[in-house]
Structure 1
Amino acid sequence: MFSNIELIISVVSVVLALSALVFIIDWRYFRDWVVVFLYKCVLDSLWGAAVINTGRIEFPYRQFPQLYKISLLFDFWIFPILCLLYNQITRERGIWPILYYAVLFSAGMTAIEYPLELYTDLIEYHTWSWFTTFYTLTITFLSSRAFIAFYRWGCDHFTPKRGKA
């Protein structure tokens, strides 16, 4: 049914994501990164479930297949960590780099996902395409950036200032 390639790709993905989490993420912004990570998990679980339940994508090889139709590895580990990297890179940048990096990250992820769809059982497109993956990833990267900007604004705006009565 499944070859060892799906398991190897999954294990390598977990190790690479964990390595990025430990060695690349700047943990001085822990509060922001936890918010981004949880935002991405919620967004991906809602959006992913909708896409899968409408039959657009299928994940034949997945964790806990008797319980979940989504790819837990991608939706709750790989994509949220990549989103942390994206938000870290764009943290102090203007609108054009934010857009550029969203497109760059999405193009890279699409360039990896499309061959996985063609040659493995990790993902199957039904009424989906590589271009749909590309623009939905771009939108979700940008939405995470907008969400963390809103979160930071809210923290600054609603936190009582010291020394004022």
Structure 2
Amino acid sequence: MNFGLEEMISMVAAVISLLLFIFVVDWKYFREWVVVFLFKALLDLIWGSPVVSLNLIKYPIRLLPHYYETSILFELWVFPILCILYNQVTRQRGLWPIVYYALLFSAGITAIEYPLERYTDLIEYIEWSWLTTFYTLTITFLISRSFIAFYRWGCDYFRYK
């Protein structure tokens, strides 16, 4: 097995995500975080697969390349965990902090992704840009926050019915 820079970066991302998942996530909200994780993973597959199929982005080096054209490590592990952390940070906050943190998390991810696109084979922009990454990440963070707010409301509303 050839273990290059891209594989090392992928392994580090997976391990850091695991450590964040174990040590930073507030587990007293376990039920909510499972819902956020699964919702975000589903949203990423639904949104990410067409992006690759439309040749907007390409992932030359990825896990299970014979089965998936997308970066399943990012879409099914790293991004859902970051989304849990985003929802944890914004759990008791108002509208402006929710938007601010969505922009902040998106900027951080974009700041990491852009050099990865320029200097590695993990991602290749075809008809895409760092700005597109930034605003699509922001939108998906806000969608996940809206979904978990709806989920909490539904749990409270239907609890005694």
Q: List runs of 5+ in structure 2 lacking aligned partners.
A: none
Alpha-carbon distance in structure 1 between the residues aligned to 2:6 and 2:55:
21
Residue of structure 2 in register with 1:110 after alignment = 110
CA RMSD of aligned residues (A): 1.0
Alpha-carbon distance in structure 2 between the residues aligned to 1:26 and 1:59:
32
Q: List runs of 5+ in structure 1 lacking aligned partners.
A: none
Instruction: State, as a whole percentage, how many aligned pairs show the same letter.
Output: 62
Residue of structure 2 in register with 1:98 after alignment = 98
- Does 1:89 pair with 2:106? no
Alpha-carbon distance in structure 1 between the residues aligned to 2:107 and 2:3:
27
Distance 1:124 1:3, change over 3 A: farther
Alpha-carbon distance in structure 2 between the residues aligned to 1:157 and 1:46:
29
Deviation at 1:122, TM superposition (A): 0.2
Residue of structure 2 in register with 1:72 after alignment = 72
Alpha-carbon distance in structure 1 between the residues aligned to 2:14 and 2:127:
28
Deviation at 1:155, TM superposition (A): 0.5
Q: Which runs of 4+ in 1 moved over 3 A?
A: none
TM-score, normalization by structure 2: 0.97
Matches within 5 A, 1:121-132: 121-132=121-132
1:13-72: per-residue Cα shift (whole Å, max 9, x none)?
011000000100000000000000000010000100010000000000001101100111
SS of alignment partner, residue 42 of structure 1? helix
Residue of structure 1 in register with 2:46 after alignment = 46
Q: How many residues align?
A: 160
User: Which of the two has higher C-alpha Rg?
Assistant: 1
SS of alignment partner, residue 36 of structure 2? helix
Deviation at 1:115, TM superposition (A): 0.4
Deviation at 1:3, TM superposition (A): 6.8
Residue of structure 2 in register with 1:139 after alignment = 139
